Amino acid sequence: MGQIGIIGNGSWGTALAKILTDNGHAIHWWVRNEEAIKGLTNRHHNPHYLTSVRFMPETIMPSADLGYVLDKCDTVLVAVPSAYAQGVIEQADKSVWQQKNIISAIKGILPDSNLLLNDFLTSKFGTPIDKYISITGPCHAEEVADERLSYLTFSGLNDELTQAVASAFNNTYLNTTHNHDIWGAQYAAVLKNIYAIGAGIARALDYGDNFLSVYITNCYREMYRFLESHFEKVHPSNERPDFHTSAYLGDLLVTCYSLHSRNRTFGTMIGKGYSVKAATLEMNMVAEGYYAARGMQSISKEFSIPLPIATFVYKMLWENLNPSDGFLKLEKMMS
C-alpha cells in the first residue's frame, strides 16, 4: 500500500486521518486553506472540523499543494464532497489516477457526470478497477473522534490490496470488514443519503417513530430491489453480495436515525420550510443526498429500475413539491 495521501480536510477526511495516524501511519494531507494548515502544523488539530482531535506532529504533513501531496504518496484517499470531487481530480495529472492505488471515501455520485468515482476514473483516465477500493459505513465521523466503537466496510476486487487497506484502519475502536461489491456498496451509500433527507423531512412534519420505522423499512426494500436489479443487469456472473449486512442496512439505519446525520439534518430544515440555499448556508456544507437525489433519477432511468421513494424526495428538493403534500402521497405507498 505504501505511503498514504489524503485529499480533503472535512470532518470525514479528518476522522480517517485520525484512524490512520492512531495506527502509526504518517500521512501527506492536502488541505485546501492556509488557516487549516496553520492549525494542523502549529496546534496539531483541524480548526474547522472535529476540533477535539489532536494529531502527533510527526504523523501529518499538511500541504495546500495538491501535486506535491500526490507525488509523495502511493495510495490516494479521496475524501472530498462529491460535488467538488471532479474539479479536484481534474487538477492532477492523469498518470496519478492510472498508477496510484485509489481509496474512495466519497459518499455520493459525481453530479456533473452521474457516475460513481470508480466509473468516472475508469472512463476518463483508464484507472484499473483492481487499484480501486471504496469505504462505506455505518460510521459517523463524530463517533470516530470520540473513539466510540465503529465499523467500516472496504470494497475492492483485489483481495490482497483490499485486505491491506482494511488492516491499516483496524484498531480497538474501529472494526473493518471487506467484500467485492464496489458498485453495490457505493450505490447503497448514495441512496441512504437520499432516504435520510426524507427521514428528516418526516420528523419536521411531526411524523412519529411508528411512521419513521415503516418509512425506513420501505426505503430498505426499495434499496434492496435496486441493488438486486443492478447486480443482475451489470454483474450477473459475479459473486452475489449479501445486501443485509451493515454496509447496506446498517448504514441506512444510522443515517436516517442519528442526530449526527447531515442529510437528516438537512431534511429537517427543508421540512421546516428552509430553502435549499438557506439550509446549505446554515449548515455550512452541502448534504450529499441533495445532488444524489437528482443523479439517481438519471441512473434509475438508465437501468430501468424504479425508485419511487427517492423520486418523491427528489421532487421535494428539485421540483418544489410541497413536503406535506409529498408525504401525504408517500403515506399511501407505505406498507
In the annotated binding site for NAD(+), the residues are: 8-13, 141, 262
Annotated binding site for substrate: 107, 262-263
Select from 283, 29, 316, 41 the least CA-distant residue to 194.
Answer: 316
What is the number of H-type helices and E-type strands within the chain? 16, 8
Instruction: For residue 52, give the C-alpha cell.
Output: 477535539
Active site residue 192: yes
State the Cα torsion 204-186-184-190 to the nearest 10°: 20
What is d(CA 220, CA 216) in angstroms, rounded to the nearest whole number? 6
| CA angle in degrees (0–180, nearest 5) for 252-23-95 | 75
Select from 120, 121, 117, 114 the least CA-distant residue to 134.
Answer: 117
| CA angle in degrees (0–180, nearest 5) for 59-64-65 | 100
Annotated binding site: 8-13, 107, 141, 262-263
Point out the catalytic residue in the list 18, 100, 131, 192.
192
β-bridge partners, 132:
102
Select from 288, 291, 294 the least CA-distant residue to 315.
Answer: 294
β-bridge partners, 151:
175
Select from 78, 79, 20 the least CA-distant residue to 53.
Answer: 20
β-bridge partners, 135:
154
- Specify the pairing of strand 27-30 against strand 60-63: parallel
* For helices 159-169 and 11-22, angle between their N-to-C axes, nearest 10 degrees: 90
Instruction: For residue 49, give the C-alpha cell.
Output: 472540523
What is d(CA 335, CA 332) in angstroms, rounded to the nearest whole number? 8
Select from 152, 161, 163 the least CA-distant residue to 189.
Answer: 152
Annotated catalytic sites, by residue?
192
